[in-house]
Amino acid sequence: MSDRPIPLDEYPIHQAPLSMRQVATSDRNAYDRCIFHVLDHTGRALLIVGLGVYPNTGVIDAYATLRLGDRLHAVRASDALTDDRLALSVGPLTLTVEEPLRRIRLTCEPDPAPRLSTSFEQGGTPIADGLSFDLTWTAAFPAVWEPHHTQHRGGRLILEGRRFVQAGTCTGTLRAAGEELTVTAGEWTGTRDRSWGVRPIPGEDGGRAAAESPTEGFHWIWCPVRFDNRFVMVIVQEDADGHRTLNDALLVRDGVPDRQLGWPQADISYRPGTRHPERAVLHLTDAGRKPLELTAEILTSSPLALGAGYPPADDWQHGTWQGRGWTDRRVYDLSDPTAHPRAAYGVTDHAARFTLDGRTGYGIFEHGSFGRHDPSGFTGYDSVAPDRAHRPGEATR
């Protein structure tokens, strides 16, 4: 019976007069998922791991991508959602909450049946040395809330999410392409984000709102940074005209959220002829209105539209039904940026070295800029940075 109780119903955790099997909305786009970033401080490797549940489409899926040199090693898995909502496992990928908000184990089993690749990205070579890992993510700071996130198209609310973010350390081993990397707390940093709510899943007709209210532009910065004794989180979302729809800059120190750091403004130096950042300065202010500069130096990058299932990926996207027991492994060649043109129209996660007030830290500079963005001088989807250092208000077509 579809309305039978499930084990979670034994606990006093209900938020609505429904079984924990159900969410308090009939929206097909309901979701509940997480993302982890694990990066080494030299820029050699960037691992991204995520898992999501989509209650109203009955799907659970997960992914892992590892940027190592010019290769992006990817594992994706999808299956039918079961009543065991504490089983955070799909295919070879598993998340184990060993201590809530403190310690989480991330594992990816090796491919039990290495096969000859037939995909263009893998060049038809055997992938016996595919991605696998066994890592323990440990929090260094408490989880903190991000701003309540909403987004509309026309008169319709298409995205509403609640999120928290956290930074920590990671230990364990990573294996790919015949290499084994030892992940240590002193030389690697880990960040993570948890979110749930409603977020578009592919396959829905946008209808009148999509036809009459197309997105002219989108500009996004999501930036969690871990220093030895503090954590900084900056988030910015702007429309084509620069109107800011999401904004926060938070400092966590001595184990508690310490203060907000003003209204962040970003100067981004893009690679000529692209919107790929090479360096960025986020201008913040302390409680006494003293200017602070959070500077990001990009170490390596991983486009979320390749392997990780974020739009506009054309091989797999989150929440889509792939059938039972689906697992896909592949390797993308990133040496030629023109080989994956769609990736430029998706968000990219950049592992970065940061400086702030004389301190050095590590974290993620996640950025996406598509279409028109007046403050940056971008006039449309084909507009890119000129063949010199980018300055606000300057761009080229």
pLDDT of 315 above 60 = yes
CB 330 within 8 A of CB 119: yes
Please give the C-alpha separations between residue 273 and each of 10, 340, 347, in angstroms, as whole numbers. Answer: 57, 16, 17
Q: What percent of the chain has pLDDT over 90?
A: 82
CA gap 205, 217 in Å, rounded: 20
| Average pLDDT of every residue of the chain | 92
pLDDT of 115 above 70 = no
CA gap 331, 123 in Å, rounded: 9
Q: Please state the length of the chain.
A: 397
Residue 10 dihedral angles phi and psi, to the nearest 5° = -70, -20
- Report the SS3 class of residue 35: strand
Q: For residue 12, how far is the Cα from the chain centroid?
A: 31
Peptide bond into 392 cis (omega under 30): no
Q: Which of 280-289, 324-333, 365-374, 382-391 has the lowest mean pLDDT?
A: 382-391
CA gap 337, 352 in Å, rounded: 20
Written as six digits, the tokens of 45 are 């490797």
The 8-class DSSP code of residue 71 comes to E
| 20-48 residue pLDDT tens | 999 999 999 999 999 999 999 999 999 99
Decide yes or no: CATH 2.40.370.10 for domain 30-198+216-376: yes
| 187-242 residue pLDDT tens | 999 999 999 999 999 988 778 888 888 889 999 999 999 999 999 999 999 999 99
Q: Which residue has the higher pLDDT, 391 or 278?
A: 278
DSSP track, 81-112: --S-TT--EETTEEEEEEETTTEEEEEEPPPS
Residue with the two structure tokens 């988030």 = 235
pTM, full prediction? 0.93
Give the up-direction half-sphere exposure of residue 227: CA atoms within 13 A in the CB hemisphere.
Answer: 20
Please give the C-alpha separations between residue 385 and each of 262, 285, 302, 370, 377, in angstroms, as whole numbers. Answer: 28, 28, 20, 12, 9
CA gap 299, 389 in Å, rounded: 18
Residue with the two structure tokens 């209900």 = 14
**What are the residue ranges of helices labelled H in the chain?**
207-212
